[in-house]
Amino acid sequence: MRSDPRSRHRQTVLGAAATTFLLLLAGCAPAAPPPGSGTTADLGAYLEQELNWVGCKDTATSKADAELFANPALQCASVEVPLDYDKPEGKKAHIALTRLPAAGDAEGSLLLNPGGPGGSGTSFVASTLPQWQVSPVAERFDIVGFDPRGVRSSTPALDCYTDEEYDAGDATRFGAVHDIPSTKEATELAERCADGSGGIANLVNAGSTNVVRDMDIMRQVLGDDQLTYLGYSYGSELGAMYAAAYPEKVRAIVLDGAVSPDLTASEFRLSSFTGLQARFDDLAALCAESPDCVLGPDPAAANDRLHEIVQPLVETPAPTTGGRDLSVWDVYLGISGGLYSEAKWPNVISALTALQAGNADQMLALRDAFYARTADGAYGHDFDTNIAVRCMDSPRPTPEEQTALARKIGEAAPMFDIDVFTAGTHHSECEAWPAPPTRDEPWLTDIEGIPETLVVSVTGDPATPHEGGIAMARALGGSLLTVDGKQHGAYLLGGSKCVDDAVNKYLLDLETPPTDARCSL
C-alpha cells in the first residue's frame, strides 16, 4: 500500500530498523542496506525528497525522444541519490523518472527496468504508452520507468565513445567477446571511459549494487511501503538482488526473460550465444522453405553460407546510401538483434538477400535497431554504461580465460565466423578497470523470507535461455510462467493475452499462476 507522504519519514526510519533486525536474524547483515550504504540517518535527506513531476518535453535527449515524450499523459521527475554510498554527504547522482499516473486512485507505483545494462526505463514507458493505457495495471498503479545511473537522462553521464565514433566503427568491437587484444588496449579503454565520464568516481559507482540501493530510495520517495517491480532481462538481476537485500520491502516482483543466477558471467555469455545459434538454425530452416533462400536450401549448411556472404566485408566494409560503411561486426550485430524476435526473422532474411546483391542499407538498419540508433544519430542503448556496469559487477577473467571463452563461443555458435571473432589473444574489457567488482559469483545468495515472485520465461528465448528462468524461479522459491515461443521477453511484448492476463493478475492481486502453467506467443 502507498503511505501517506506526511508520515513517510517516520515510517522509513522504523522500516529501516526492522530491515536490519530481520536480516541479522537471517544471517544476511550487512546485505540490506547493502555494504557501504550508510545508516538511515545518513540517507535521511534523500528519503525526505519531494518529487517535482512536470511535463517531459525537456527530458528528451534526441529529436526522436522529443516526439516520444511529447505526450501530455507522461510526467517526468528526478531523484537524488548518493554517488558513492560510502560518502552519502558527498557528490550526488540524479536518477530520471517518467511516469504514467494511474487512471484511477493510485494504490502504488510499478517501477520498471527494460534491461541492458544500459536500457532506458523512461523511454520504455514512453514507447509502450499505448499498451499501458489499456492495461488494468495502469488503472490502479502509477507506471514508473527509471534510467539507472549513467543511462540516458540520468546523471552523471557515462561515456567511453561518442555517437559519431560508434557510427564510424571506432568503438571497441563486440563479437564473441570484446575485441581487446592486449593490456594496452584495456588500459586505454578504462582511461577514456574515466575521462569521458567525468572522472573515476563516476565510473566505478555504476554497478548493479548501487542501482539496487537507488531503487530503494526511489521506492520510499515514491511513497510506497513495499516495492512493486517489473524487470526484463538484466532488469531481472536488479529485481532479484533487491528481493534478496530487502525481502520485507517486496510486494510483487515480475522477472521477464530472467538471467540465470546459477551461471558465472562467462557461462551466461556462452549460454546466450548458444541461444542465438539455436534461433539462427530456426531462421535458416524458415528461409529454406523458399526456393531462392539466400542461405541456401540446406539449413545444415547455412553457417558456411553466411560466412561466404560476410567474408568480403572482413577487409572492406560495404558502403551505404547514407554515407556510412557496414562492417562485418555490424552485420553480426544486425543479425543478432533480428534473432531476438521471430517476427523479425523475415527482416533478417531480406537484409541478407539485399547484402548479397550489393545493397547494405537494410542490414545497416538492423544494426542501428540493435543500438536503438535514431535518425538523427543518437544511440538509445547505452553500451558504454553496459561496459561500466558489467565491469563493476563481475570478476575479471584472465587473458587465458577470456581467450578460451571466445573459442568456446565460436564452437557453440558457428554462425559467427570463428576466424574473425575468436582469432588471437583476448583480454577482458575490464582488465584495467580502476576499482574491483562489487558482486561475487554467484551473485544471488542468502535468499530468505522473500514473498511470492513471478518469473516469465520463453522456451525459445535467444538471449536469456529458458533454463535460466527455471533457475531464477527455483532460487527465489517463486512461481514460473513458461511461455512457448521464440523471442526475448513476453509481457506486453508478444501479444499474448494469456501472458498479459497472468502477469496482470499477479501484479494487481498477488495471485500467481498454478504450477506448470503455460502460455504461448
pLDDT in tens, 388-408: 999 999 999 999 999 999 999
Whole-angstrom Cα distance, residue 301 to residue 259?
Answer: 31
- pLDDT tens for 185-196 read 999 999 999 999
Phi, psi of 69, deg, nearest 5: -90, 0
Name the burial class of residue 71, with classes exposed (0-12), middle (13-18) and buried (19+) by CB atoms within 10 angstroms of its CB: middle
Average pLDDT of 105-131?
A: 96
Whole-angstrom Cα distance, residue 22 to residue 351?
Answer: 56
pTM to 2 decimals? 0.90
422, 352, 5: which is closest to 174 by C-alpha? 422
- Higher-pLDDT residue of 174 and 359 is 359
What 3-state DSSP class applies to 146?
strand
Phi, psi of 325, deg, nearest 5: -105, 150
Q: Is the pLDDT of residue 59 over 80?
A: no
- 3's enclosing H/E stretch is none
Q: Starting at the earlier edge strand, list the strands of the sheet with 141-147.
A: 75-82, 92-100, 141-147, 108-113, 227-232, 250-256, 454-458, 479-484, 518-520
Average pLDDT of 291-315?
A: 96
- Residues carrying an active site annotation: 233, 461, 488
Q: Residue 67: what pLDDT? A: 85
Q: Residue 385: what pLDDT? A: 95
The per-residue b/e assignment along 16-44, b for 16 or more CB within 10 angstroms, e otherwise, is: beebbebbeeeebbebbbbebbbebebbe
Q: Is the pLDDT of residue 24 over 60?
A: no
Q: What does the DSSP assignment read for 89-144?
A: TS-EEEEEEEEE--SSS--EEEEEE--TTT--HHHHHHHTHHHHHT-THHHHEEEE
DSSP letter at 271? H
Phi, psi of 330, deg, nearest 5: -65, -40
Which residue type, as a one-letter code, is found at position 148? P
Rounded to the nearest angstrom, the gap between the alpha carbon of residue 339 and the centroid of all alpha carbons in its chain is 17
Question: Measured at the alpha carbon of residue 233, what is the angle toward residues 240 and 396, in degrees to the nearest 5?
Answer: 80
Average pLDDT of 490-507?
A: 96
Q: Residue 31: what pLDDT? A: 34
Per-residue confidence at 64, pLDDT binned at 50, 70, 90?
A: confident
Residue length, the chain? 521
379, 367, 368, 287: which is closest to 335 by C-alpha? 367
Whole-angstrom Cα distance, residue 209 to residue 238?
Answer: 8
Lowest mean pLDDT among 3-7, 21-25, 135-139: 21-25
8 A C-beta contact, residue 67 and residue 91: no
- pLDDT tens for 76-94 read 999 999 999 999 999 999 9
Whole-angstrom Cα distance, residue 369 to residue 381?
Answer: 9
Per-residue confidence at 208, pLDDT binned at 50, 70, 90?
A: very high
Question: What percent of the chain lies above the pLDDT cut of 70?
Answer: 92
Q: Name 57's Cβ contacts closer than 8 Å, sequence gap at least 6.
A: 66, 69, 70
Q: What share of the chain is helix, strand, coil (3-state, %, to 5)?
A: 45, 15, 40
Whole-angstrom Cα distance, residue 134 to residue 124?
Answer: 16
8 A C-beta contact, residue 109 and residue 142: yes
Per-residue confidence at 176, pLDDT binned at 50, 70, 90?
A: confident
Average pLDDT of 86-112?
A: 97
Q: Residue 65: what pLDDT? A: 79
Q: Residue 35: what pLDDT? A: 39
Whole-angstrom Cα distance, residue 86 to residue 75?
Answer: 32
- Higher-pLDDT residue of 172 and 276 is 276
Q: Residue 423: what pLDDT? A: 77
8 A C-beta contact, residue 43 and residue 15: no
Q: Is the pLDDT of residue 20 over 80?
A: no
Q: Residue 15: what pLDDT? A: 31
Q: Residue 174: what pLDDT? A: 79
- Higher-pLDDT residue of 8 and 470 is 470
286, 233, 248: which is closest to 112 by C-alpha? 233
Whole-angstrom Cα distance, residue 493 to residue 488?
Answer: 9
- 413's enclosing H/E stretch is none
Per-residue confidence at 48, pLDDT binned at 50, 70, 90?
A: very high
Place of cell 536518477: 95
DSSP letter at 512? P
Rounded to the nearest angstrom, the gap between the alpha carbon of residue 455 and the centroid of all alpha carbons in its chain is 16
Q: Residue 7: what pLDDT? A: 34
34, 457, 231: which is closest to 240 by C-alpha? 231
Q: Residue 60: what pLDDT? A: 72
Name the burial class of residue 89, with classes exposed (0-12), middle (13-18) and buried (19+) by CB atoms within 10 angstroms of its CB: exposed
